Amino acid sequence: MSYKILDKTNKFLKKNHNHMINGNWQNSSNDRILDVINPATKEVVSKVQLAGKDEVDLACKSARESFDKGIWKDMTPSNRGKILWKWADLLEERIDQIIEVEVIDNGMPVIVAKTFIGWAIDWIRYYSGMVDKVTGDNFSNVISGDNQRFHSYTSYEPVGAVGIIIPWNGPFGTFIIKVAPALAAGCSCVVKPAEDTPLNALIIAETAIEAGIPPGVLNVIIGDGSAGELLVKNSNLDKISFTGSTEVGKKIVNQCSNDLKRVTLELGGKSPCIIFNDANLDIAIPGAAMAIFSNSGQVCFAGSRLFIQEDIYDEAIRGIADFSKNLKVGNGFDEDTVLGPLISNSQHKKVSEYVDIGLKEGADIISGGSVDDDSGFFFNPTVFGKVNKDMRIAKEEIFGPVLAACSFSSVDEVVNLANDTRYGLGSGIFSNDINKVHNVANRIKAGNVWVNHYGGMHPTLPFGGYKESGWGRELGIDGFKTYLEQKTVSIKLD
């Protein structure tokens, strides 16, 4: 690998990283330090301070006070929009550094980081243009009559101070997908990135202050799960937005029930991908393969369950296995790499255990398995065939590059198989029959259905899940409104 890291990236990694609270870099009151590990090399690349109760309380108080004083929410929408647009421009100026940090911190290939980060910066611009586009309704004429007159209308206002907890599998993008609409709505935020991938959150915070977002409006604390629990419990916050596992999401709901904080959850998935016998296999084979292998399977909506119509099963599964064997696994800075490492040793161990479980349950491993490489947490793209719906590899979220495939005969059968899960985040259909596509898309219980491609995201399209895959939506106008409260005003006139 000949890639040379930028000098400014190396300087950033060597900093004593602490927390952004009320516009200042704040040291922790405890002496807890976390090593940041590059999952492609297992090397310590940076160190960050870990927040304790004092830092969480201070950040939440800062968000509360900035919101109550109105220094951001009472700014004219056009000025908020200009600042957000400038923020996007500043991030774009540093995009080469941000991409490098994402690859070092998370392990994803450069091309994946470049794509996701480019999307996310445009999401800021999308929401910067929405600040003055959401208005209420006038119901005066609807309810007036019989010699009574009313002036009645609805309006929207920001929900308040928001706690945001983001995952490690897409650190930059998941930060922006939540914070951009929250700030556009006029909220103040406290963000806790995942402890495995804390670095780009600090660059985002630095550029936000530089862009003119007032102190206290965007606070970033680095912490582990205990800091996340403190954040959820903090009485200064009005809402929690969380992306992560379904199990942790349920705990957050239980905690937020104590004071009825608003909650948005983007949780786990075990998404179905369906290849019908009329599909173009030149599109379906790489599409279905990358539905699960993109970002090494560490994607909440990954198409981890594959259903292939029986008369093309052998051809399609063989094609996917052959395709996966040609996917380069390695360091994200290698231009040929398609799959980077898994995020950590514990995640590598978990995925390995699921492969062993699949074999013990009687599934056929057609290709892949663990990588014999001590340099990083690498894992080969793995394809299982002859999987039945009761196997654990077909039911449980693995969060790694492991595909569970089986055949089906009819539309009714595959719809039942696809819906036989507690999750409902993503789904894919490969078919050239438009009637069949609409029929199946209508019947699949998932928040997102991609047809003849998989996983594309656009800022105008709402994203979220059914069932245990979450509450609410992100992106689009729905992702904006999740940070707003609706108010009704009704005035009786003389």
Q: Which one of the listed residues 266, 397, 468, 474 is annotated catalytic?
A: 266
pLDDT, one tens digit per residue, over 409-455 is: 999 999 999 999 999 999 999 999 999 999 999 999 999 999 999 99
Domain span at residue 400 reads 272-458
The kind and range of the H/E element at 387 are: none
Asked if residue 290 and residue 237 are part of one domain, the reply reads no
367's tokens: 């290709």
Asked if residue 291 and residue 234 are part of one domain, the reply reads no
Residue 463 lies inside a defined structural domain of this protein: no
Asked if residue 352 and residue 212 are part of one domain, the reply reads no
Asked if residue 411 and residue 397 are part of one domain, the reply reads yes
Distance CA 364, CA 417 (A): 19
Q: Which one of the listed residues 300, 406, 468, 474 is annotated catalytic?
A: 300
Asked if residue 247 and residue 278 are part of one domain, the reply reads no
Amino acid at 198: P
Q: How many separate domains does the chain show?
A: 2
Asked if residue 312 and residue 197 are part of one domain, the reply reads no
Confirm whether 266 is a catalytic residue: yes
Residue 284 lies inside a defined structural domain of this protein: yes
Residues 6+ apart with CB under 8 A from 25: 18, 19
The pLDDT value given to residue 300:
96
Distance CA 39, CA 106 (A): 7
Q: The domain spanning residue 276 has which CATH number?
A: 3.40.309.10
Residue 74 lies inside a defined structural domain of this protein: yes
Cβ atoms 35, 126 nearer than 8 A: no
Asked if residue 239 and residue 305 are part of one domain, the reply reads no
Asked if residue 434 and residue 318 are part of one domain, the reply reads yes
pLDDT, one tens digit per residue, over 218-251 is: 999 999 999 999 999 999 999 999 999 999 999 9
Cβ atoms 219, 243 nearer than 8 A: no
Asked if residue 182 and residue 301 are part of one domain, the reply reads no
Residue 337 lies inside a defined structural domain of this protein: yes
Mean pLDDT to the nearest integer, 108-130: 96
The pLDDT value given to residue 371:
75
Residue 464 lies inside a defined structural domain of this protein: no
Distance CA 185, CA 160 (A): 9
- In whole numbers, what is the pLDDT of the chain averaged over residues? 96
pLDDT band with cut points at 50, 70 and 90 for residue 369 = confident
pLDDT, one tens digit per residue, over 296-325 is: 999 999 999 999 999 999 999 999 999 999
Residue 175 lies inside a defined structural domain of this protein: yes
Asked if residue 254 and residue 239 are part of one domain, the reply reads yes
Q: The domain spanning residue 30 has which CATH number?
A: 3.40.605.10
Q: What's the distance, Cα to Cα, between the start and end of the chain in Å?
A: 79
Residue 2 lies inside a defined structural domain of this protein: no
Q: Is the model's pLDDT at 31 over the cut of 90?
A: no
Specify the pTM.
0.95
Asked if residue 225 and residue 162 are part of one domain, the reply reads yes
Confirm whether 300 is a catalytic residue: yes
The pLDDT value given to residue 344:
96
Residue 430 lies inside a defined structural domain of this protein: yes
pLDDT, one tens digit per residue, over 65-85 is: 999 999 999 999 999 999 999
Asked if residue 484 and residue 448 are part of one domain, the reply reads no
